[in-house]
Structure 1
Amino acid sequence: MARADRLLRLIQVLRRHRAPVSAAALAEELEVSVRSVYRDVQTLRAQGASIEGEAGVGYLLRPGFLLPPLMFSDEELEALVLGLRLTAEHGDAALGRASAEVVAKLRAVLPRDLRQLVDETALLAGPARERPPETVDLAEVRAAIRTQHKARLAYVNERGDASERTVWPLGLGYFERSRVLIAWCEAKGDFRSFRADRITRWATLQERLPRSRMALLREWREREHIPAQLPGGT
């Protein structure tokens, strides 16, 4: 078992107990030596864990402790790094910058062995063959989605017909050759999809959505038979 996984399991075992647990009992459950338990307790304390007790007495984890660096197994950490690399390669410019910042923050709080795993991860994200042009600031589009505000957009369809619409932005799909806005169109009274590179003007309005964005997005998924995605089944 990797040491990071063992430390996480130790935290989880301690959380289950309201009374002090002996090092021998912890060692038996974790299938390690008592000496390893002593070392791991010291490591967790150095990371900020409020573990009371000592050898021969037992150990107790005080409530409210959260240690993010140890909430990841090796595979979970690789999944995070790969996801961030894919976002940097295939997301819009603002998401690319944010991905680099997340990696830097992650490295700053990780223990040395996990930080090394981040630096040496051999999972690579292939470059985008063709980045779709950004005719509007997608960071503004994403902000409107998050804050559940209506928007006014100018759009040119595949035939070259121009129109202006008031929409309720619900989601933004990232594909290799395009980004697609999912929205409720007030003019059509129905869900519509808009290619982001055909949106020529975007203005977020002060008016908020009259219905929950999550409920509307679930309704759209059910109609289109599109399965929910992680996290949270949105």
Structure 2
Amino acid sequence: MKLFMALSKQTAYRKTGLVSSMTSSLRFQGELNVDLGEFQINLVPFPRLYFMTTGMSPITSKMDVSTAPNHVQSITDECLMPTNWLVQYTEFDREQDKCMAVGLNYHGNVKSKEANATISWLKDNHKLSLVEWCPTGFKIGLSEMPQLCLDADDIGSFPRNVVMISNNTGISRMFGKRLVQKFDYMYSQQAFVHWYFGEGMEEGELTEAREGLVCLEKDYMDVLIEQVSDDYFSDCTADDDCF
């Protein structure tokens, strides 16, 4: 139980640090301040596909701060690795799981020239894959204030930090392999359904919700189509259950 509580606290610190970093432009000056509204516009190309993948770097213990690299290129590379994400992907494939858009919010002593050079380096070295119809795909924010860590946090403070929010098609597996599969297991035994029925829900609403998840997974897969046709998403937009 003590180990679980300790892990829960560290997870909470990561989440609060990420939210604090993404909203820092509201509190501090920067060479290229970007508010959440701008990130939302750039990260959500379609109304239903707004499930984000988040990551941050560096995530290094206080004991290793003095020896850990803190160059713009190195922390950006780490931030794009699944080990630094707050979402646990199953069988993530850098080539197959493509990004529709990526937001990188830098903190500390980072100049726009360094950030732009790093983006070019990422593309040249194929550090991530972007969908064919959106080859630019990056939104950069710069804030002069580096991310601060709490005294109780095990993670050390650095002069440079970066937080990533990306819209990646790989998150579709969360709906199919996690939510839908677990729903099917429990629903086959009618487990917990009495609580929902007691609140006035009908059985059809549960199956409609499941169909909506399947449709959402299909939407993410359709994004990988290179040539977007006029009837893009037509299978789902014609069905009210998908919204």
**TM-score in terms of structure 2 length:** 0.26
The structure whose RCO (Cα within 8 Å, separation 6+) is larger is: 2
Greater Rg over alpha carbons, structure = 1
Q: Greater strand share, 1 or 2?
A: 1
**TM-score in terms of structure 1 length:** 0.27
